[in-house]
Structure 1
Amino acid sequence: MDIVQSSAPTRRLLLPDAPALVAGARKAVWLTSDGEVDTIDLGEARLRLQRDVLLVCHAKALGRRLNADRFTALDLLELFAFVHPARFVVPTPRGLAEALGLPKPDGAEDDALTLIRATRQLLTDLSDPDFEEKSDPVAIAWFMGGGGGGSQGYSWPWASFALSALGAPNGPPGRRALGAFQVWKAMPEWEDEAPEPPPGQLPVHANDARRRLADLLQASILGKVAEPRPQQSDYASAVSTAFTPRANPGTPNLVLAEAGTGVGKTLGYLAPASLWAERNRGTVWISTYTRNLQHQIDGELDRLHTDPAVKSRKVVLRKGRENYLCLLNLEEAVASLPSQPMYATALGLMVRWVAATRDGDMQGGDFPGWLPDLVGRARTMTLADRRGECIFSACQHYRKCFIENTIRRARKADIVIANHALVMIQAALGGDEAALPTRYVFDEGHHVFDAADSAFAGHLTAQETSELRRWLLGAEGGRTSRARGIKRRVEDLVAGDEEGLAMVDAIVHAARALPGEGWGNRLIDEMGTGPAEIFLLMVRRQVHARAHGRDSFYSLETETIEPVEGLAAAAQELEKALGRLQTPLEHLANRLAARLDNEAAELDSDTRRRIEAVCRSLQRRGSVTLKGWRDMLKCVGQLTSPGFVDWFGIERQDGRDMDVGMYRHYVDPTIPFVATVGSQAHGMVVTSATLTDGTGDVEQDWLAASVRTGAVHMAWPALRASVPSPFDYPARTRVMVVNDVRKDDLVQVAAAYRELFLAAGGGALGLFTAISRLRGVYQRIAEPLELAGLPLYGQHVDGLDVSTLIDIFRGEEQACLLGTDAVRDGVDVPGRSLRLIVFDRVPWPRPDILHRARREAFGGKRYDDMITRLRLKQAFGRLVRRADDTGVFVLLDPMMPSRLAGAFPEGVEMQRVGLAEAVRVTREFLNPG
């Protein structure tokens, strides 16, 4: 080990004398601390990894690449998460270099050298006596390293180096460390404030919106001001109509606004939205489909609020409860540390993050998306409030709770940045809001249909019903769990109320009709117990008997008509059992709600809020969920209710059955969307770069937008606005359909991907309609791309979550990425990091039962074409994000119909060429000169 004196006399940099290892698809680089370099094959790298303690970046990903399960390594990402909690870093050597201000690596040897440099820099940062700390790094590192008698055998490899840098090699005074994990004790409490009055009705006119936009454009972010664009000003003017008083009850002033890429629609709608909020002391909700866009919008609002403290009051990000860390979960996990020392590292890094986080958001916020893969989900993602078990004001952390604090801040904010699912659920159920907002902007508006489809669907499945049982009964079978069950959550609220206690007992008894633990094995063995499991067993039998391709790797489904013998009777029995559960749930909700009236003078504010929250939960799971399931069961063997489509299905993952049940969806899910959100909104903007269809018939294209957004169901017509992109697409892009590659021959498809990626020199995104094809191509092209210096990443291959993969892809200009729809929708990569998109096939909609019903309702083949054009438009729109971007779009499907060419901008020619020509054009267009 090397010892370097730092400027603080009691702090030393103790640097590990450990080689650094980086591995590619075929070779690995080994670099000693003395600078000796050795290029070795993957087999040798695996031996050395298991023999020595090495410096690595993302140990789990390295282990998957080398097929090595158990080894000890000094992972730079763990050290980064400890030293700089809640700070963004791309989890690669290059990402570490950029985050720490180190020279950017160029090649595998530089990557290995970066790990050594990053080690020194991180420990130097930690040794800085002026380094701002919000938790106790000494005590936490000491416990993670085995201090306190709790974690010997599970020692964090970085502990001794961190403690030396902190000037405390022997740990904290008194050797007491576990208390440092109780970071919630130092967190501030929020305080109650008077409810906000209703917002005013002052309008925002077109000229007002233009002036506010001009002010926003002049504001500086990181020393840069935005360039004024006439199209953006026109757009702001158009959407301002949604911020004028409505004239008709029950229907909003609706604006459908399509803004081509580059218009700058975010600032375009933020201009009238922020001005309306200021004038009327009201809140505008900006709703998105992807978390990525939520945070982009948040960043744009730095122009309006340069002071972070002011912005924290004026702008709030909102997500569902399941996205936030639960302090009670954290407390119980910390309390288990003495008996479960294997979680010391994970919890140590978690508490460091909790103390530093902005808002406790674990999905797309300042939480490292790669951390659960690194240290396990058991003490990371499971600490979120993922199972609806919140006990609200009965929790000792209630006044420090991230979720509750965010909800209260949102009530007083000017701008709330939420997502479609949360908006729809809250409008339907009341949610957490005392008063629902009156003004909405739905960005990524082309996804309103899909979001409504998820929000208003009914899934009577094994997972859903067993989850309800766990919510009602809590942990069973003597297991230790946070799952408390309804009795423990409400027992103090009904104490002394014999009728209320009897209802709770009735709920507990009736809930045993739902699937218990081990249902999966029992269904496979056809040994189901109880009404729910017997019904699901019969459903599984019918699906396997009738589904097409029953040996398929993917999910299976079949109709609900003509049920197999015994299924109809099982449905009837389950319907009755759910009725015996629904009745006491509704009665308990009504009885608790009555306390709000009967005891209005005695109840304190916290108890009132808790009762209201419990009643909402009981209503959602009783009146809404159970009623919906019972209605579904009554239709088994009969015609589905008008406007709905039912089916039986088995959900599979990697060929394994994961869930089974009955599904019900609206044929047109925008109907409940309009009935809930639309009926209470005063003004609404639905906007996207891809709102209309691309048939060439203007009225037909806008009709498609009206159908997909629900505008067709509004009582008052929408204002339609279309602002074209300022980009010169004919000059900056190329679109080619390769007509000599057999799309059913994976060898040919892989060769096409390889040659096109090489021609582009990286910056390539490959999109697939099937995971198996993605994996097959990845296996065939990873090595040749690596030889050319082009790292390849793959969704469903690397084990990383989609957002982390996109961060890596964005941060490495030569990287290539293979993905599915989730990547297509979530990627926003300006510049040369994305310059080529290759589709393996025309992305036709999946021909399932639900699609068949919608196809019949929405125009047959025209509906197929509309969805496919939308997917192509969305993918193409990822290519050019700035005026100086260039991009190539390639389809490896000779069957691409010419009628779908409307997916591409006017003037962009879709050329049908051979692979050799596509490779030549790609190389010359993207690498001129």
Structure 2
Amino acid sequence: MPRKFVVIDTETTGNAPKKGDRIIQIGVSVVEGNRVTETFSSFVNPFKHIPVFIQQLTGIDDEDVADAPSFTEIAPKILDLLEDAYFVAHNVPFDLNFINQELQDAGFSPFVGKVIDTVECARILYPSAPGYQLSQLAEWLEITHVRPHQADSDAIVTASLLIMLLNKLENLPQRTLKWLGSLASGLESDIEQWIKERKNEKIRWSVEDEDFVEEFKGIALKKTSTTETSYKKENLEGESSFFSQNGRLASNWNQYEHRPAQEQMSTEVKEAFENRHHALIEAGTGIGKTIAYLVPALYYSKKTGRNVVISTHTITLQEQLMQKEIPLLQATVPFSFHTVLLKGKSHYLCLRKFKQLLTTAPSTYEEVLGLSQILIWILETDTGDVEEINIAGGSASTFWEKVCTDDSVFSKASQPWTSRNFYERAKEKANKADLLITNHALLFADIKKEDRLLPPYKHVVVDEAHHLDELASKNLGDQINYFYLNQVLHRIGVLDKTGLFQQLFVYEQSIDYFFSSAWYQRREDYFTLLKYEMDELFRMLHQFCRNQSIQKRTDVGKLSIRYNPGREDSPEWRAIKDSVKRILVLFEEEETAWLSFYDHLSHLVRPASNEEGMLYDFKTAVEQIEGICESLVSLLLEEDDNFVYWMEVDNKGAANATYLYTRPVDVSDLLADRFFAEKDSIILTSAALTIKDSFSYVIQKWGLADFGPSKLQLTSTYSFDKQAKLLVPEDMALIKDGEKDFIMETAEFIYHAASITEGKMLVLFTSFDMLRKTYHQLKKWDEESDFALIAQGVKSGSRSKLMKTFKQHEQAILLGTNAFWEGIDIPGEDLSCLVIVRLPFPPPDEPQTQARIEQVKKEGKSAFSHVTLPQAVLRFKQGFGRLIRHKNDKGVVVVLDRRILQSNYGSDFIQSLPQLPIVQKPSDDILNEMATFFYEK
């Protein structure tokens, strides 16, 4: 095997060598004996103009390459270096394709030796890395990267990365190397033989595995602690240095400054816990509400021996709690306490399912890569939480479904794995925790399920509580879609040799022959018919939705319609109902046969064998289909007057890609009966709970009227009158007068405002369509790329990825909608201007909003005053809160919707804001106001 690794990086005029793009710079680093032994770099004359965007990206212009050698002149040097070596690159296909094309054009033979792709290897060996671009890895691994996008610098960094990868690979446990070797043939990098040599060396020289590794049922994983952590409740000795007056925040404790409002909130939470009542607390920015509720929650738990649940809506806040506030408390308090983060089952790796998939032939490259990543990850993780691993591939969720924990965790097949089960370990810790951190989704899933997901609790803090009714409605409703249905049917796999039923039947035939081929053929026929009927049902639903949408002149794109399952009576709907009934009959026949098959085989499979695991997975899949059938009944055959029903399709999607939903219209009674009446004390806190300084709206909406909650409103401690201004251009077009003019004026204002603020601007929209149109208009004007224009839904990436990109650029404009109205934190100079394009009234065609409006009208009330306006005001408060995040922040909020000052309801929005200067002038004068605000001393 070669012991020489030649790392090559190229800079090029484009991405397509076959279409004439050429190399403009090459960098080479030779690695031997885990060190760089030689380097070579050169500009290359492409004999063509270098595009402007390539010049901006690389810093290489036409003058740099004008006197450079041609590739033909340096080709012998490259070939000499590559002799008997691995070709290594960060994204091998790109660099190797260019090198081979240039070699062939110069009359040389292409390179056909072994290759190593450091992107692929980094994905495997660093499964928890935040990203796999070279610059991301260099920063994460603390590799100095002087000149990104210059081939010589990139080659040196890639060589350093390669050395780290080889070292980590060499030090893997023997068992891990064995499994990696079995998967390596499915990888793009030629590392199979190299891995086997490392494994054999460990056997030959009896190299001991590290102390932190243990072998369990044939796989190597991080050793669990043999020392049992003490979770006993203890007396609060010495608490006076941390608490004052029985659970309030000690005014001299806070490591920042004394905050009276924070202490006031802490007292309110303490009294609610002790007096067993619910509390509503609106806490503006700067209050320090997280510490304000954690301190009394912790004190109450330690004093009484009862756990307290902290529920958040976003992963961001959960991470902030676990990585910032909890360690701060642990380092400060004079006693020990235990905090556990608990999520739903599907967030945790199931080692049994992982081992089972590992021992079968992976069906896709994504599976090979995913299994390889997990082999390394289980040597490092304590939690098995999917949030820790950066699973590769576009079908990551499909792969994770095959290895995550599900209801089979309670089966006999999973019992041998119980001691190493991540979910069970998290639950055990949660049962003994003082503070249990979870999310709203799991909180309400626990309320809905008869078998509780959370340990028993009577006290809970609901942070980001403005999502309460939305999350309650979602989790107390029901939904089904064709993709999930198809995924479950595929898992059962009667017609697929890799499916569970097929594999189990082959196994049964090898040991028993109880079930005949005729019986199997009948199952196959019934399954074919069941799948056909389900495909046909969703095709009819798709067509029904399209027809109804066309009749209602719904916009193209995503089509959505409401329906009433008990009152629809068209021929199309009767055909849909008949299809559901046929599915129920077919499934009843199949379920009986499948469960008989399961019962028989459960007495034959060997305990703890792969077949036993597959058998329980098969039963779980059957139960999932049963749940799907129950959902089809509740969604299409039954009707509840308090529920709204709707379906959605993508107008350009597959002919059966339909989504069905039902949600309770009014959750007040459900929350009152299942949540507030069941708990001793629920603290509901958020920055947006009041309208006109009143909690009346949320009290009525959440069913709190009969519980007499205490109420506390704490305004922000920041000096908004000095730190911010609200600017409203009075001459902006109204969208009702023409969308085209409104978008043109919006884009024009953003463009001019950005030149004053030097970017650093967040623009909030209420629709993706308007966002996209504004983005494309801005791109037309900004041909020189003065600003980094980042748009949600236009540029790919998650919210966190777009946020990171925004912060990385000195002059950036971020266009966002929906998720960007809340839960994002851009403190300091990264954000100095917030533009709210339109007042955030809920879309009038949104099914739940429609249903609530109809309900309020039946009660003789104003739908605008009781539904539309309150939702918009609370949303507006959330959006406004994105600007001033810290006491030294400074910026302006521009509202391009002049209705905020010119309509009779505009005062509701203004009253929701802290006291600050408000300026209403023509657009040009507003721009002058901005310039004065930012540049005047």
**1:244 and 2:244 are equivalent in the alignment:** no
Measured against aligned partners, the alpha-carbon deviations of 1:772-802 in whole angstroms (never above 9, x if no partner) come to 3323333343476684653222222222122
**Alignment match of 2:128 (pick from 83, 86, 93):** 86
Corresponding residue of 1:366: 388
Q: Structure 2: how far apart are the matches of 1:616 and 1:711?
A: 39
Q: 3-state SS of the aligned residue for 1:427?
A: helix
Q: Structure 2: how far apart are the matches of 1:424 and 1:18?
A: 61
Contact 2:233 2:302 in 1 (8 A): no
Write the letter of the residue equivalent to 1:136: L
Q: Structure 2: how far apart are the matches of 1:57 and 1:877?
A: 41
Q: 3-state SS of the aligned residue for 1:150?
A: helix
What number of residue pairs does the alignment pair up?
821
Q: Structure 1: how far apart are the matches of 2:130 and 2:928?
A: 38
What 5-or-longer segments of structure 1 have no aligned partner? 42-46, 64-71, 220-224, 247-252, 499-503, 520-527, 594-602
- Of structures 1 and 2, the one with the larger relative CO (CA 8 A, separation 6+) is 1
Corresponding residue of 1:501: none
Corresponding residue of 2:259: 229
Q: Structure 2: how far apart are the matches of 1:803 and 1:685?
A: 28
Corresponding residue of 1:874: 878
Write the letter of the residue equivalent to 2:721: P
**1:884 and 2:910 are equivalent in the alignment:** no
What 5-or-longer segments of structure 2 have no aligned partner? 1-6, 8-26, 45-49, 66-70, 79-86, 98-110, 204-208, 600-606, 857-861
Q: 3-state SS of the aligned residue for 2:834?
A: strand
**Alignment match of 1:186 (pick from 221, 238, 260):** 221
1:100 Cα offset (Å) = 5.2
Corresponding residue of 1:747: 744
Contact 2:876 2:909 in 1 (8 A): no
Task: Identify if the C-alpha distance between structure 1 residues 866 and 82 changes in structure 2 by more than 3 Å, giving closer, same or farther.
Answer: same
**1:324 and 2:348 are equivalent in the alignment:** yes
Corresponding residue of 1:174: 200
Q: Structure 1: how far apart are the matches of 2:667 and 2:618?
A: 28
Write the letter of the residue equivalent to 2:493: A
Segment drifting more, 837-846 vs 80-89: 80-89
Contact 2:251 2:258 in 1 (8 A): no
For normalisation by structure 2, the TM-score amounts to 0.72
Q: Structure 1: how far apart are the matches of 2:655 and 2:234?
A: 51
Q: Structure 2: how far apart are the matches of 1:448 and 1:423?
A: 10
Task: Identify if the C-alpha distance between structure 1 residues 579 and 675 changes in structure 2 by more than 3 Å, giving closer, same or farther.
Answer: farther
**Alignment match of 1:136 (pick from 169, 172, 177):** 172
Q: 3-state SS of the aligned residue for 1:721?
A: strand
1:460 Cα offset (Å) = 5.1
Write the letter of the residue equivalent to 2:682: M
Contact 1:256 1:687 in 2 (8 A): yes
Segment drifting more, 535-544 vs 134-143: 134-143
Contact 1:729 1:905 in 2 (8 A): no
Contact 2:339 2:436 in 1 (8 A): yes
Contact 2:539 2:655 in 1 (8 A): no
Task: Identify if the C-alpha distance between structure 1 residues 57 and 580 changes in structure 2 by more than 3 Å, giving closer, same or farther.
Answer: closer
Task: Identify if the C-alpha distance between structure 1 residues 271 and 565 changes in structure 2 by more than 3 Å, giving closer, same or farther.
Answer: same
**Alignment match of 1:437 (pick from 453, 457, 463):** 457
Corresponding residue of 1:477: 495
Corresponding residue of 2:721: 730
Contact 1:13 1:124 in 2 (8 A): no
Q: Structure 1: how far apart are the matches of 2:341 and 2:850?
A: 37
Following superposition of structure 1 onto structure 2, how do residues 889-900 of structure 1 map, counting pairs within 5 Å? 889-896=893-900, 897=903, 898-900=906-908
Measured against aligned partners, the alpha-carbon deviations of 1:473-515 in whole angstroms (never above 9, x if no partner) come to x12421525x669999xx9xxx9x99xxxxx999999987765
Corresponding residue of 1:597: none
Q: Structure 2: how far apart are the matches of 1:96 and 1:893?
A: 43
**1:112 and 2:149 are equivalent in the alignment:** yes
Corresponding residue of 2:699: 706
Task: Identify if the C-alpha distance between structure 1 residues 891 and 30 changes in structure 2 by more than 3 Å, giving closer, same or farther.
Answer: closer
Q: Structure 1: how far apart are the matches of 2:844 and 2:827?
A: 34
1:213 Cα offset (Å) = 6.2
Write the letter of the residue equivalent to 1:478: D
1:131 Cα offset (Å) = 8.5
1:661 Cα offset (Å) = 5.5
Corresponding residue of 1:421: 441
Write the letter of the residue equivalent to 1:455: N
Q: Structure 1: how far apart are the matches of 2:800 and 2:586?
A: 44
1:677 Cα offset (Å) = 2.9
1:642 Cα offset (Å) = 2.8
1:215 Cα offset (Å) = 6.4
Corresponding residue of 1:304: 329
Contact 2:545 2:649 in 1 (8 A): no
Measured against aligned partners, the alpha-carbon deviations of 1:723-780 in whole angstroms (never above 9, x if no partner) come to 1210111221122233434451233332322222332212222222222332333334
Q: Structure 2: how far apart are the matches of 1:843 and 1:286?
A: 29
Corresponding residue of 1:720: 711
Corresponding residue of 1:596: none
Task: Identify if the C-alpha distance between structure 1 residues 570 and 777 changes in structure 2 by more than 3 Å, giving closer, same or farther.
Answer: closer
Following superposition of structure 1 onto structure 2, how do residues 765-914 of structure 1 map, counting pairs within 5 Å? 765-782=762-779, 787=784, 789-848=786-845, 849-858=847-856, 859-862=862-865, 863-896=867-900, 897=903, 898-902=906-910, 904-914=912-922
Write the letter of the residue equivalent to 1:832: E
Q: 3-state SS of the aligned residue for 1:446?
A: helix
**1:459 and 2:479 are equivalent in the alignment:** yes
Write the letter of the residue equivalent to 1:767: L
Q: Structure 2: how far apart are the matches of 1:342 and 1:18?
A: 37
Corresponding residue of 1:685: 683
Q: 3-state SS of the aligned residue for 1:853?
A: helix
Contact 1:448 1:708 in 2 (8 A): no
Q: Structure 2: how far apart are the matches of 1:256 and 1:477?
A: 55
Corresponding residue of 2:633: 630
Task: Identify if the C-alpha distance between structure 1 residues 130 and 306 changes in structure 2 by more than 3 Å, giving closer, same or farther.
Answer: farther
Contact 1:645 1:853 in 2 (8 A): yes
Task: Identify if the C-alpha distance between structure 1 residues 464 and 102 changes in structure 2 by more than 3 Å, giving closer, same or farther.
Answer: closer
**1:255 and 2:292 are equivalent in the alignment:** no
Contact 1:216 1:267 in 2 (8 A): no
Q: 3-state SS of the aligned residue for 1:355?
A: coil
Task: Identify if the C-alpha distance between structure 1 residues 785 and 359 changes in structure 2 by more than 3 Å, giving closer, same or farther.
Answer: farther
Contact 1:734 1:909 in 2 (8 A): yes
Q: Structure 2: how far apart are the matches of 1:74 and 1:747?
A: 50
Corresponding residue of 2:47: none
Q: Structure 2: how far apart are the matches of 1:588 and 1:468?
A: 15
Q: Structure 1: how far apart are the matches of 2:531 and 2:632?
A: 15
1:58 Cα offset (Å) = 13
Corresponding residue of 1:600: none
**Alignment match of 2:570 (pick from 529, 541, 564):** 564
Task: Identify if the C-alpha distance between structure 1 residues 833 and 566 changes in structure 2 by more than 3 Å, giving closer, same or farther.
Answer: same
Contact 2:309 2:459 in 1 (8 A): yes
Q: Structure 1: how far apart are the matches of 2:459 and 2:594?
A: 35
Task: Identify if the C-alpha distance between structure 1 residues 29 and 305 changes in structure 2 by more than 3 Å, giving closer, same or farther.
Answer: farther
Write the letter of the residue equivalent to 2:893: F
1:673 Cα offset (Å) = 3.1
1:613 Cα offset (Å) = 12
Measured against aligned partners, the alpha-carbon deviations of 1:192-217 in whole angstroms (never above 9, x if no partner) come to 999999999xxx99x95767564698
For normalisation by structure 1, the TM-score amounts to 0.73
Measured against aligned partners, the alpha-carbon deviations of 1:544-575 in whole angstroms (never above 9, x if no partner) come to 463332x6222221433453214236426625
**Alignment match of 1:763 (pick from 730, 751, 760):** 760
For the aligned residue pairs, the C-alpha RMSD in angstroms reads 5.8
Corresponding residue of 2:106: none
1:17 Cα offset (Å) = 5.8
1:450 Cα offset (Å) = 0.8
Task: Identify if the C-alpha distance between structure 1 residues 337 and 650 changes in structure 2 by more than 3 Å, giving closer, same or farther.
Answer: same
**Alignment match of 1:385 (pick from 380, 404, 419):** 404
Measured against aligned partners, the alpha-carbon deviations of 1:407-438 in whole angstroms (never above 9, x if no partner) come to 22222222221111111111221456474322
Q: Which has the larger radius of gyration?
A: 2
1:347 Cα offset (Å) = 4.7
Measured against aligned partners, the alpha-carbon deviations of 1:132-185 in whole angstroms (never above 9, x if no partner) come to 8997299989999x9987147x227xx79xx9xxxx8996253899xx999952
Measured against aligned partners, the alpha-carbon deviations of 1:626-647 in whole angstroms (never above 9, x if no partner) come to 5564344445xxxx53322234
Write the letter of the residue equivalent to 1:865: L
